[in-house]
A and B are shown apart, each in its own frame.
Chain A
Amino acid sequence: MRYLPLTDVERGEIKKTIGISDIKELFSCIPEGECYPSLAGIPSALSEPELIATFRELGRKNRFADHLSFMGAGACSHFIPEAVSYLSGKGEFLTPYTPYQPEVSQGSLQAIFEYQTMMTMLTGLDVANASLYDGATAAAEAVLLAVRRSGRSRVLLAANLHPEYAAVIRTYVQNLPIELLTVASNETSGRVDDLDLRARLDEATAAVVFQSPNFLGVVEDGRAIAAAAHERKAYAVQVVAEAMSLAYLTPPGECGADIAAGEAQSFGLSLGFGGPYLGFMAAREEFLRQMPGRLVGQTVDLDGKRGYVLTLSTREQHIKREKATSNICSNEAWCAMRAGMYLAVMGKTGLARAAETCHLNAAYFAAAAAELKPVAVVYPANFYNEVLIEVTKGPAADFHAALKKKGILAGVPLSWFDVKQKNRLLLAFSEVHDRQAIDRLLAAMGECA
Chain B
Amino acid sequence: MAQENLLFSKDHEWLRLEGNLAVVGVTDYAQHELGDVVYVDLPAVGKELKKGDPAANIESVKAVSDVFAPVSGRITEVNQNLNGTPELVNQEPFAGGWIFKIDMTQASELQELMDGKKYEEYLKGIAGE
Contacts and interface: CB of A to CB of B under 8 A. Distances in A.
Nearest to A311: B61
Contacts of B38: 314
Contact of A319 (B39, B41, B63): B63
Interface string B57-80: 001111110000000000000000
Given A289-B41, A314-B62, 14 more contacts: A289-B39, A313-B61, A313-B62, A314-B38, A314-B39, A314-B60, A314-B61, A314-B63, A314-B64, A319-B62, A319-B63, A319-B64, A320-B64, A323-B64
B75 to A, nearest CB: 16
A163 to B, nearest CB: 37
Nearest to B65: A314
Interface in A299-335: 313-314, 319-320, 323
Interface in B24-50: 38-39, 41
Contacts of A319: 62-64
B47 to A, nearest CB: 12
Contacts of B63: 314, 319
B interface secondary structure, majority: strand
13 contacts: A289-B39, A289-B41, A313-B62, A314-B38, A314-B39, A314-B59, A314-B60, A314-B62, A314-B63, A314-B64, A319-B63, A320-B64, A323-B64
Interface of A: 289, 313-314, 319-320, 323
Closest 5 CB pairs of A and B: A314-B59, A314-B64, A320-B64, A319-B64, A319-B63
Contacts of A314: 38-39, 59-64
A246 to B, nearest CB: 31
B44 to A, nearest CB: 10
A289 B41 CA distance: 10
A319 B57 CA distance: 13
Contacts of A320: 64
A319 B59 CA distance: 10
Contacts of B39: 289, 314
Contacts of B41: 289
Nearest to B39: A289
Nearest to A324: B64
A433 to B, nearest CB: 49
A70 B79 CA distance: 58
Contacts of A323: 64
B66 to A, nearest CB: 9
Nearest to A309: B61
Nearest to A321: B64
A225 B64 CA distance: 37
